[in-house]
Amino acid sequence: MEQTAIVKRVFPSGVAEVALMRQVECGLNCKSCEGCSQRAEEELLAMADNAEGVAVGDIVTVRPRTGGRLGAAILVCLLPCFGLIAGYLIGELLRRSQGVCILLAFVGLAAGFVPAVLANRTAARTNKPEFSVVATGR
């Protein structure tokens, strides 16, 4: 989903800090938003690459990067579920009581969250741009 954003800072590496704006009635056609009554109270700042040729104050169209997000969603959602099921089945294979099977299921659930937490920490450290600039409108 493409969004309109205003360039706040440009870095020499071809990355820009952009402020994602909510859709407003004026369509962000004004060059200075300081006196605009439609301006949002809070800005969501994000990093965008492919920002060659943009300048501070430019209105650009950005598209979120989706690569890797699907893998992270699978890791966060499915792996704990598999751990839950595997823990319960291990308890059943060992012919333990129902209470022990449920306890092992919760242990499997917790073990399934460990890779998700580690992947989140790794993603936070890499700090790659979340968006790409697809069009500029000066």
- For residues 123 and 14, which has the higher predicted lDDT (pLDDT)? 14
CA-to-CA distance for 110 and 120, rounded, in angstroms?
16
Do 54 and 73 sit in the same domain of this protein?
A: no
- Rounded alpha-carbon distances, angstroms, from residue 123 to 50, 72, 126: 20, 10, 5
Write out the H or E segment, with its range, that includes residue 43.
Answer: none
* In contact, 70 and 44? CB cutoff 8 Å: no
Do 99 and 119 sit in the same domain of this protein?
A: yes
Domain membership of residue 7 as a residue range: 3-66+127-137
User: What pLDDT, in 10s, does the model give residues 103-134?
Assistant: 999 999 999 999 888 877 887 777 677 778 88
User: pTM for the complete prediction?
Assistant: 0.53
Do 48 and 10 sit in the same domain of this protein?
A: yes
CA-to-CA distance for 29 and 67, rounded, in angstroms?
31
User: What pLDDT, in 10s, does the model give residues 17-69?
Assistant: 888 876 555 555 555 555 555 555 567 888 888 777 888 888 888 888 766 66
